[in-house]
Structure 1
Amino acid sequence: MTMLSGDESGVEGPGLGIDPAQAGAAEEGAEEDPAERGAAGERPADAAMVVFLTEPVRRRAVEIAAMAMPGLAPGRVPARLRRFLKFSPVKRAKLARGDLAAALDSDAAFREGLAEILGATESPLVRSVNGHVAGEAVSPMADPVEVAALAYLLRPEGWRELLAVALEAVVEPPEAPAEAPAEAGAKRIGALEKENAKLRSALADQRTAAATLQEEVRRARRDLKDAEERASKTAGDLASERGRLKHVEAERRAERRRLESEVESLRAGLERARKADRDNERLASSRLWLLMETLSGTATGLRRELGLEPVEERPADYVAEQYCAEPEERPFEGSRGLEQTDPQRLDHLLALPNPHLIVDGYNVTISAWGETLTLEQQRNRLVQGLGAVAAQTNAEITVVFDGADAVFGAKPFARGVRVLFSAKGQIADDVVVELAEAEPEGRPVVVVSSDQEVAMRSRREGAYPVPSPLLVRWLQR
């Protein structure tokens, strides 16, 4: 048996159920009932006596006090125990066991407050412990440890007798018999030898592992050294490459500056050349204008000196009077045309100043539309096409048809186009050549005919022979 003090603790047991609400009500009732406080004050003689408890009883008393302590008002809890109020009962019993045991032994007011909290519970064991003197006996099946702890905490009348009876029923665990020193030493030596063997084996394993780690460290150091050497070599190569790139960049920039300088020089030269060309062009234009003005003035002076008056008739009109007549018969089909050439040639010829376009009529129409149109339709189509040419250019246009056969239908007409028919005994080829011969030397004359003889004779007269298909293609554009 021991006195109620020390540092032991336990867990909550099943024999005591404490409701915090009931505990609070009991606390309030305790504060309002002075009779009970007076009755509690009549126990100083009991409290002064030393009570010895067995270890299980003491531990259970601390556990019950830890469970009931939150039901007290904070002012009735000893100051050193208040910080444990927020803990759970198990944790409170474990951490505050020493202080709680000392408070139960020395603080009667604290113990009486716990007794009031416990007395307010509905536990049958608590009621039987509190009322065992009044005739309510404690059940013999109750745990003597629980009964002894409650008797110590509640302290009803005659609690010492109840505590003594309960303590006698508490059976403490027997102590193990002591072994002989020699046997204990032998066992201890055997255990130490086994432990030593284990430690030696572990040491050997650790040494093996350490050797392996040392080898790995040496290998890692070699690898690190190789890596550092490679990194150093790479850094050197990188520095060399950077130097080379800087040199190349400097050369590139110098070359770029040189090229930019050359470009600027070429641009300046080009601008000077353009300016010189513009100046030369203006000078040439000025000279040409002065020359043309001089020639124009000279021509005007000659015309005035020679007394030349404007004439209404052209050389072709004289040829028409001599070699042409109104048609009385059908013309016969002329020769087929030659190979066609580029129509732009005719554009260039008609672009010459004051040209005269002479067309061998049937030579053109028969080669182009001889199989699809009548002679009258052919003449009309050709003359209308030449009328469009006259409207687009400043050329004098003459078309000559053969008059050997009778002509049916009206004579074709188009503004700006002279339409002629050869007289009886004359052919259009001769009229075309005579028209070319009648023009003054230097005037552009274009003869359209696929007849080789007409082309050759016209060329001798200074005219430009053009094949008939070229005119047809030119009209069809």
Structure 2
Amino acid sequence: MEAASQAAEPGVDEAVDDVADHAVREAAAAASGEPDGQPAAEQLDRPLPEGVRRRVIGLAADALGGLPLGDLPATLRPYAKFTPVRRARYAGTALAAALEADPVFRSRIADRLRAGQPDLVGALEAGQVPGAAEPLDVAAAAYLLRSKGWTRLVAEAGEEAERSEVADAAAESARLVEKLQEELAATRAAARGDLERQRAEGEHARRELESLRKKVRSLEADTKRAQAQSRKLQGELDAARAAGAAEKAAAEAEGRRLRHRVTELEGALESGRRSAREGRSVADMRLRLLLDTVLQSAQGLQRELALPVTQLHPADLVDAVEPGSASPHDVARRGLAEDDPALLDQLLAIPQVHLVVDGYNVTKTGYPTLPLEQQRLRLLGGLAMLAQRTQAEVTCVFDGQDLDVPVIMAPPRGVRVRFSRTGQTADELIRQLVRAEPQGRPVVVVSADREVADGVRKAGARPVASTLLLNRLARS
């Protein structure tokens, strides 16, 4: 029995729900003025205005969350847990259809509206329209309540909304027109500014072009004057060359005349000698005496005036490029290593070269373990052989500022030995020797001291490393 009663309970519940739903629908129909089974007294002859539709959907979306899930149409139950905004966005069409087709659901939404806005609902049910209320709110409430004259309120609200939209559109159009006019004015002003700027730039370019043309004309005039001056100088040069050639020809003619005269005198002298050998007459003796007198007078005059023998020859007057004389600095250009003995041989092969050696700098680099005396003797012996083979002038400088007495020694042949004085270093003596040489004489200084190398290089000498001399002496 209990099982049978439990099995019958679902059917009883469904019957109770149907009876309750039918009662609610009859109450809603009575409230909306729609008798059961009778068509509505008022119907819209056009679609619900868009503004009113949005307000109705908004009210329904807000009220939907407060209704039990069983009171909702089946099409709206999936949206029950949505927020009002999302419900209005995604369930707007379903809400509008349910409100239009389901009077029970519409009456439930109207009840929620009646609880939320009692003043507005009371005024509409009393047949009054609040003057301060929003027309769209009034139309939406009238649509849900279906109070008397609700179609008129909806139509008027729609017309008002259309007029408002038209006014808003007109205002927006006017604003856009004004904005476009302002943009057009700004564009025209910018175009005028660009035009003025382009005109100014064109005028500036024209003036600059005119200035450049003037400069070109001035340069052309300068070029013509320079060409004329060049032609004038060329003419003067040609005239000078012609005058030089004439003077040279005259000098050559005078030289030929003098040589001819000398030949005549030599012939006369030879003739006189022959005459003297044949008989030496008194006239010949007088002629010889006169010739000797002339020659001795000329020699005396040459000695008195200190006239040198002429070193100028005709070939020296020809204009050409003369080769440069070799110097110690030119040897570095031949691609030899700094410690190659062949480099020192090439340096010492320069005519009139003077080799200055920093003595202790070389010996302490090559054989520092020997006593100082043996260092000096070994170095001087090697320098003597080098001087004999190369015929170069060799000077070896030792530091003597700490010596109490002069060193007693016999310098080897061909090597000059010098010690610095008290208070003077060997480096200073080397620089003094280099400065004492005439400008242009080749001087080679052997020292590993950078300060010495820099000093003698400024004075015109060629510094080389001590290892170069040691390698050369070791090879010999």
Alignment TM-score > 0.5, same fold: no
Question: TM-score scaled to structure 2, two decimals?
Answer: 0.28
Highest RCO, 1 vs 2 (Cα 8 Å, sep ≥ 6): 1
Question: TM-score scaled to structure 1, two decimals?
Answer: 0.28
Larger radius of gyration: 1
The structure richer in helix per residue is 2
